A = this chain, B = another copy of it.
């Protein structure tokens, strides 16, 4: 296809292969006129090498474009550290995952460690496949937002020396450190916020009940409602809609709730897509200044909307940072018993949650 350039330098390799191979220490040694081992010493910055030789070797390395093969190095070295960790999230494209990703990356990068990431799309089978792929590459550690519901298969990996930390959901059984949001308590806090603004008919709009986090958030809602029963808060099943997974579904659910006879005066939404759908429905029906909303999860543009959207913001960066910190501690040999770490969410008041009851 591409004829051999008969001009200058790499003319001799008349092979049609797309590229010559990477130079090895052997070639560097030959060019520099030293032994292979000396090159190794230069690469590893052993201080006892003759400075003149160091210069010669460095020059040879630059000329050949030599870069050490980390894999071969790890293989030979005792510790077998690849300086790479794995990160399995729901979807690297979604804001929560991306924020966690960034925080993990920052923590790792400071330690010269790179991150191999992958999306699971809530597929348990994919979780196992990706764990295998990462283990095959001998990552030093693994941060997982679980998609599966049985993590015993990871015990073997941990025993084999791969540290594992879970994020956002607890592993079952608890086979490793976990970093989670205070779903139940934060939800209760959000609902109490609405109650303190005078609301008594507060709707709950939630995700699929099969998700543990969704269950916890619903539990928090009920906690707060129950606490305020004496003050007239009603636990009306007609105010609870679950199984919402899209903006459209949430929009429709809110529209229906508001047009009904005993409409709620406030909404608590359990998740960002649901919040967006609810806000959209309120704006479309012109009731955004009349019906209060508090959402779980921050949403983009929340402060630009009118009114601003009051939310319980998960601290995704802090969650990622803490997960990385725990992971690196394990990798460094920490053998303390595994435990769950709870990162509190923050209530951000922007207006929609402070609308008083009529």
Contact = CB atoms under 8 A, between A and B. Distances in A.
Instruction: With a 10 A CB-CB cut-off, give which of A92, A105, A160 has the most chain B CB atoms.
Output: A92
Interface in A11-37: 18-23
A153 to B, nearest CB: 9
Given A71-B71, A92-B98, A300-B300, A22 B306 contact: no
A160 B158 CA distance: 36
A41 interface: no
Given A19-B159, A93-B102, A116-B115, A72 B69 contact: no
A315 interface: no
Contact of A333 (B18, B91, B105, B159): B18
Contacts of A137: 70-71, 82, 84, 114
Contact of A301 (B20, B134, B161, B305): B305
A75 interface: yes
A335 B335 CA distance: 51
Interface stretch (A198-206, A234-242, A261-269, A276-284): A276-284
A92 B102 contact: yes
Interface in A122-159: 132-138, 156-159
Interface string A56-81: 00000000010111111011000010
Given A21-B161, A74-B71, A157-B65, A84 B116 contact: yes
A80 B72 CA distance: 11
Contacts of A94: 98
A69 B105 contact: no
B67 A92 contact: no
Interface residues of A, number: 66
A19 B158 contact: yes
A18 B161 contact: yes
Contact of A160 (B21, B99, B115, B132): B21
A246 interface: no
A118 interface: yes
A136 B102 contact: no
Contacts of A19: 158-161
A101 interface: yes
Contacts of A135: 67
A161 B95 contact: no
Contacts of A156: 65
Top 4 closest pairs, chain A to chain B, by CB: A93-B102, A300-B300, A71-B71, A65-B156
22 contacts: A19-B159, A20-B159, A21-B80, A22-B138, A65-B159, A69-B75, A71-B71, A71-B74, A72-B75, A92-B92, A92-B105, A94-B98, A98-B98, A105-B117, A105-B119, A112-B133, A114-B116, A114-B137, A280-B304, A299-B300, A300-B301, A301-B305
